[in-house]
Amino acid sequence: MAKKSRQATEVTMDMTPMIDVVFLMIIFFMIVSDMTQQDLAEIKLPLAEQAVDDKTEEGRMIVNIFKTGEIEIKKQPYPTLDDSQAATALRSYLAAEVSKGKKDAQGLSERALLIRADKETKFKEVQKVMRICGENGILIYKVQLAAAQNEQK
Amino acid sequence: MARKKPEIEEVTMELTPMIDVVFLLLIFFIVTMKFKVLEGKLETELPKDVGVNSGEVEDLLEKLEIKITANPTAENGMTIAINDLKMPNLQTFRSRIADFIRLDSEQKATLYPGPKVNYEQVVIVVDQCIMEDLVDITFAGVTWDA
């Protein structure tokens, strides 16, 4: 009896389910990665029970202060404010930002400043920023202190 | 003569480049992803007068001055004083703040953090004040020397 020759079968992988899953994963990561957090540096914030939800405000400036006293604004590092060049750079940045916004009758800026300092940062470093805020040509008085919220809230 | 039947060509889409790009995108999002941190804020104000005000305090009865001094042996590593009266603990501090608020619900407070005080300690004090409805908090323009 003659043997039947085996038919070669072409093995193909169905890519459709894999592409579906990969697209779903991309959509998930696009949604959860918040691009607005680019201004926020990696800092350990202190816990505050009364901290209110921080909604992004238009025109608000964010200053990050590390525990070494170094400052970072929009990923731009500034050395400690003991360095006069850094203080001048911060002054000109804040003055430029304030000039873009509205001012009240007293000439004070209506734009707020969020200070995000590490919980171990000496408060005098924060006060250096506050002092610059009070200078002529800047005059920011709305200051917000960033704090971590209690998760059980 | 018999005509040749035209051969039907199978049209297939090359998926490999698309899958490459999609995987690259996926890797990018995985690497750059940062979970949103539960973050809040405490609203405060700076003095509205220009520059540093070194004027003497005229009437302590109407003003509420909170001085914070670093003290490693005390609760939270700090000592709090209201109008120069030292508070033994946070509980007493809160009840004194509540007394002020009972007398005047629009009471304003000025915070004087000492030079060795850290950001966390100031946040604790501001948090305690807000808990007792003392919301009008401003910061002194100078570092108070303990």
Say what the ipTM of the complex is. Answer: 0.73
Report if residue B124 sits inside a domain: yes
> Is B90 at the interface with chain A, CB within 8 A?
no
pLDDT in tens, B36-93: 667 788 877 777 765 545 444 444 456 789 999 998 888 889 999 998 889 988 899 9
- Which residues of chain B neighbour A143 with C-beta distances below 8 Å? 44-46, 139
Distance separating alpha carbons of residues A16 and A79, to the nearest angstrom:
52
CB-based contacts of B132, cutoff 8 Å, min separation 6: B94, B97, B98, B101
Report if residue B104 sits inside a domain: yes
Report if residue B57 sits inside a domain: no
Distance separating alpha carbons of residues A48 and B39, to the nearest angstrom:
10
pTM of this prediction?
0.71
SS3 B96: helix
* Residue B122 to residues B83, B138, B139, Cα–Cα distance (Å): 17, 12, 10
Q: Beta strand pairing status for B136-139 and B108-113?
A: parallel
Q: Which domain holds residue A124?
A: 38-149
> Is A146 at the interface with chain B, CB within 8 A?
yes
Report if residue A9 sits inside a domain: no
- Shortest CA gap B74–chain A (Å): 17
Report if residue B29 sits inside a domain: no
Q: A152: pLDDT confidence band, cut at 50, 70 and 90?
A: low
pLDDT in tens, A75-90: 888 877 677 777 888 8
- Which residues of chain A neighbour B14 with C-beta distances below 8 Å? none
* Residue B12 to residues A8, B9, B15, B16, Cα–Cα distance (Å): 21, 9, 9, 12
Report if residue A70 sits inside a domain: yes
What confidence score (pLDDT) does residue A1 get? 52
Report if residue B53 sits inside a domain: no
- Which residues of chain B neighbour A10 with C-beta distances below 8 Å? none
Report if residue B71 sits inside a domain: yes
Q: Which domain holds residue B89?
A: 64-139
Q: Is B76 left (phi over 0), alpha (psi -120 to 50) or beta?
A: left
- Interchain CB distance below 8 Å, A51 and B117: no
* C-alpha radius of gyration, chain A, whole number: 26
> Is A21 at the interface with chain B, CB within 8 A?
no
Report if residue A29 sits inside a domain: no
Whether the predicted pLDDT of A119 surpasses 70: yes
Report if residue B85 sits inside a domain: yes
Distance separating alpha carbons of residues B85 and B65, to the nearest angstrom:
10
pLDDT in tens, B1-26: 556 667 777 777 787 888 888 888 88
Q: What is the CATH number of the domain that holds B74?
A: 3.30.420.270
The DSSP secondary-structure symbol of A140 reads B
CB pairs under 8 A between A and B: 156
Report if residue B12 sits inside a domain: no
B97 compared with A149, residue with greater pLDDT: B97
What confidence score (pLDDT) does residue B57 get? 47
Q: Quick one: which of A47, A38, A124 has its CA closest to A82?
A: A124
Query: How many structural domains does chain A have?
Result: 1
